[in-house]
Amino acid sequence: MILQISELYKTFQTASLPPVEVLKNLNLEMEAGETLAILGQSGSGKSTLLTLLAGLDSPSSGSIILNGQNMDELDEESLSKFRALNIGIIFQQFHLMSHLTAMENVSLPLDLFQDADATEKARQALDHGTFQTHGSFSTPAFRWRVSARGHSQGHGGSSKHTAGR
Ligand SMILES: Nc1ncnc2c1ncn2[C@@H]1O[C@H](COP(=O)(O)OP(=O)(O)OP(=O)(O)O)[C@@H](O)[C@H]1O
Ligand SMILES: [Mg+2]
């Protein structure tokens, strides 16, 4: 079992409005290798659930056991480490570093862990996608930039770099 969610509740308290009960007694089990899409109308709590699964917020009650670890038992520092080693998120906004090359963006999380093979692993991750046609990953010509015009190739490239990361 890769993921076990038990009796999960999440309620947002607001100063002026009544509390918003978003997740109520959510139970879910997933095996390794399973793919799951979360569907629901706007405001139904999809992002709230993903935020909890990513350890970016904590539930009001209930438990999330991911890869054998009850996330509730981790302090802030252990949670950061656990997140880096176990969770990958491709955000709608890619959150790539515009001043870094594609290679540097992909190797950044490994560099933070002082992984001696960071560059090689990043190269392999990038090689895994369809990047070869772009030439060298670390040349200025391939430097990833924020495109104010939302250039389509830039968008596709950015999504692949994020997947590599
Ligand atoms: N930090 C917060 N404080 C108060 N209410 C919140 C907070 N975050 C989310 N909510 C409320 O929780 C409910 C679920 O929001 P959530 O963003 O999880 O929905 P969603 O399914 O991801 O929607 P969408 O499809 O629009 O992305 C909404 O009513 C939202 O207003
Ligand atoms: Mg959402």
Two tokens, residue 152: 């389509």
- The predicted pLDDT at position 82 comes to 93
Instruction: Give the pocket of ligand 1 (CB within 6 Å).
Output: 12, 14, 20, 22, 40, 42-48
- The predicted pLDDT at position 164 comes to 65
The whole-angstrom separation of Cα 51 and Cα 111 is 25
Among 8, 10, 20, 42, which residue has the most ligand 1 atoms within 8 Å of its CB, making it the best to mutate?
20
- The predicted pLDDT at position 78 comes to 93
17: number of CA atoms within 13 Å, CB side? 7
> How many angstroms separate the alpha carbon of residue 89 from the centre of ligand 2?
14
The whole-angstrom separation of Cα 62 and Cα 56 is 16
Closest residue CA from atom 7 of ligand 1: 12
Q: What does the longest C-alpha to C-alpha distance in the chain come to?
A: 55
- The predicted pLDDT at position 100 comes to 84
Among 8, 10, 12, 16, which residue has the most ligand 1 atoms within 8 Å of its CB, making it the best to mutate?
12
- The predicted pLDDT at position 110 comes to 86
Domain 3-86 has CATH 3.40.50.970: no
Two tokens, residue 9: 């509740």
- The predicted pLDDT at position 155 comes to 60
36, 73, 115 from 45: Cα distances, Å = 15, 24, 36
> How many angstroms separate the alpha carbon of residue 148 from the centre of ligand 1?
28
The whole-angstrom separation of Cα 54 and Cα 57 is 8
Q: Where are the domains of the chain?
A: 3-86, 102-164
- Which tens digit of pLDDT belongs to each residue from 29-50? 999 999 999 999 999 999 999 9
Positions of the chain with pLDDT lower than 70, given as ranges: 129-165
Q: What is the 3-state secondary structure (H, E, C) of the chain?
A: CCEEEEEEEEEECCCCCCCEEEEEEEEEEECCCCCCCCCCCCCCCHHHHHHHHCCCCCCCEEEEEECCEEHHHCCHHHHHHHHHHHCCCCCCCCCCCCCCEHHHHHHHHHHHCCCCCHHHHHHHHHHHCCCHHHCCCCCHHHECCCCCCCCHHHHHHHHHHHHHC
The whole-angstrom separation of Cα 108 and Cα 104 is 6
